[in-house]
Chains A and B, each alone.
Chain A
Amino acid sequence: MISAQAIIELRNLHYTWPGQNSPCLVIETLTIHTGERIFLHGPSGSGKSTLLGMLGAVHTPQAGELRVLGESLPTLPATQRDRFRADHIGFIFQLFNLVPYLSVIDNVILPTHFSDRRRKLATPERATVEAEATRLLTRLHIDQHLWQRPVTTLSVGQQQRVAAARALIGQPEILIADEPTSALDAALQEDFLTLLMHECATAGSTLICVSHDQRLAANFDRSIDLATLNHAATRASHSV
């Protein structure tokens, strides 16, 4: 991975939630390279969600440098940050990833409505976004008879795979998964991660996976402990 470019660069990053006195996230330096599979772990309260919100261009740090894909996110206006997230980042959450009133297919193609870039990438040679969605769903082992179903009739494992298909559609450069397997059985966890990593590799996406479950770390290229990375968390835990 020596030739790999930095896709995410953090330097002297400070983030304080509005209305609070002390920062909840202080990171001196963090670099993630293109195509890396990162396992980010830490106890609850170590600032995982905050960090993901920042990488996802939802939260803006009060101080420090944050470059994603060469773009300095804190200096972008709010509308452009939303555009940036839509274009370049796919998300998978722990649970309830899907919009309840849309069918499986419509959930998968949702990002292409908000991002022209991902719609174009999902539809090479005048194919439809629906065709790309069915391709991804097939690769993630979602049977055809489920495609037009309301998502509420799906099992949790199926829901997570539909969420993965949605995160992958239109080949975003970065895929962020926040505890994607914690709602799944142990047997399913391994399967899901393998599938997800395989698809990330095919799409060339960098995968950042957050979990408190250390057993999963072995599957990744690199493991980062947020508790040691985040100086705000160490300070807080020392003071307790």
Chain B
Amino acid sequence: MKHLIQLASRSAWNRRLTLGLTLAAIAFSTLLLLGVERLRQDARENFALSVSGTDLIIGARTSSVQLLLHAIFHIGATTTNMRWSSYQELSTHPLVAWTIPITLGDSFHGYPVLGTTSAYFEHFQYGHKQALQFNTGAPFKQLFEVVLGAQAAAQLQLRVGAQITLQHGSGDLAHAEHADKPFTVTGILAPTGTPVDRTIHIPIEAIEAIHLDWQGGAPIPGVSISPEHVRKFDLTPKTITAILVGLKQRAAVFRMQRWVNTYPADALIGIMPALALDELWQVVSVVERLLLAVSTMVVIVGLIGLLAVILASLNERRRELAILRSVGASPRDLFILLTLEGLGITVVGALSGVALLTLLTISLSPWLQSHYGLVITLRWLNMNEIALVIGIISIGLLASIIPGYRAYRMSLADGLTPRL
């Protein structure tokens, strides 16, 4: 067996160009399949760890997926806000332990600006019920103060004490700057691996303050209210985007949800984060399954290529096989020789795919995190991924049996004199 492996590898090395290309095809298709699978798992895990300990998210009536995406992941937007008075009434509800009001809409260099209260730093939890920690500094106390997520601070190279001006609107649509009202950085949060890292936190009253002299999305011409004068206005917001709610007893969540959904003074919706995520995955899973199906096809195409290359080489190798028979190789030996070639290339190809995945994870994860907030951690293959690799190798083995069998038949028919 050892010398057959040696023969197979030396024969393969002799045809390294064509076989190398086939190997590359298998490596890349493996990378694609494993990459899709890993992104899927990591995205799910990321999303699931982004919020914890929050029993209900309450906002103006919309779809639960939309509210979740907007309030927690700062993706998309909600068309309407909920009233401040609704928030006040909810905060005093006997079932409620704590509330965090949030308002979204502005951005700073592409990072979402979130208006909130100190309750955010006190009650917000992520991962496995972990509270937010400060790397440096402390929560904001004054109106024009700001707390940065770890990544936003690192990317923008801001430290505690730095001054920034916010932009109106978000994303590429952000245009005018709130240049007259600069903010001072008072704290930088420790990394969490969640959207918090990319968020700029300011007091919810500051959102009102910077928009005092604005109307309809633009500064009112000739009207400018200086930061000193702003404090004289009533800065209590009239509307907010959403509230994160913690209950005294988790068991009361359905009662509370019913109360919210039937609240007469405002059209509200209360969602449970885990259920809303499930709903999201149900939508996404169609695409996921499609992606997995496509990448599985790509793997199969790669293996068919391998099969074609080995079968094509078989005719050129007829004499070689006859020589091997004349020195004592049995048809069974030739079967093993050819099967080993295909299997070997599949195994090396699949393992190269895993190696490529590792390389890509190392090189792309900072980019994925900074652009999409997606944390891809370097780790060993999990059972799911190992099953995929074993699946690829098994199909490769099945495919390799075909040239093996043909070599077997050929050597029986040819004997020592190949008919060319």
Contacts and interface: CB of A to CB of B under 8 A. Distances in A.
Interface stretch (B10-18, B30-38, B294-302, B303-311): B10-18
Given A49-B417, A100-B14, A101-B13, A91 B332 contact: no
Interface residues of B, number: 22
A84 B298 CA distance: 46
Contacts of B216: none
- The interface centre, meaning the residue of B320, B327, B415 with most chain A CB atoms within 10 A of its CB, is B327
- The interface centre, meaning the residue of B3, B14, B320, B416 with most chain A CB atoms within 10 A of its CB, is B416
A58 B415 contact: yes
A85 B328 contact: yes
Contact of A52 (B3, B323, B416): B416
A101 B415 contact: no
A79 B13 contact: no
A100 B324 CA distance: 11
B415 A82 contact: no
Contact of A86 (B328, B332, B416): B328
Contacts, number: 63
A110 interface: yes
B213 interface: no
A93 B326 contact: yes
Nearest to A110: B327
Nearest to B418: A96
B329 interface: yes
Contacts of B13: 101
State the main secondary structure of chain B at its contact with A.
Answer: helix
Contact of B326 (A18, A56, A100, A113): A56
A97 interface: yes
Interface in B1-47: 3, 10-11, 13-14
B103 to A, nearest CB: 72
Nearest to A111: B327
B327 A166 contact: yes
A19 to B, nearest CB: 10
Nearest to B3: A113
B313 to A, nearest CB: 12
Contacts of B327: 86, 91, 110-111, 114, 166
Nearest to A106: B10
A100 B13 CA distance: 12
Closest 8 pairs between A and B when the two form their complex, measured CB to CB: A86-B328, A114-B328, A101-B14, A82-B330, A91-B326, A113-B3, A58-B415, A111-B327
Interface of B: 3, 10-11, 13-14, 319-320, 323-333, 413, 415-417
Given A58-B325, A82-B325, 18 more contacts: A49-B416, A49-B417, A53-B415, A56-B326, A58-B416, A59-B415, A78-B331, A79-B330, A85-B328, A86-B329, A87-B328, A98-B323, A99-B320, A100-B14, A101-B13, A101-B14, A102-B10, A114-B327
Interface of A: 18, 49, 52-53, 56, 58-59, 78-79, 82-83, 85-87, 91, 93, 96-102, 110-111, 113-115, 166
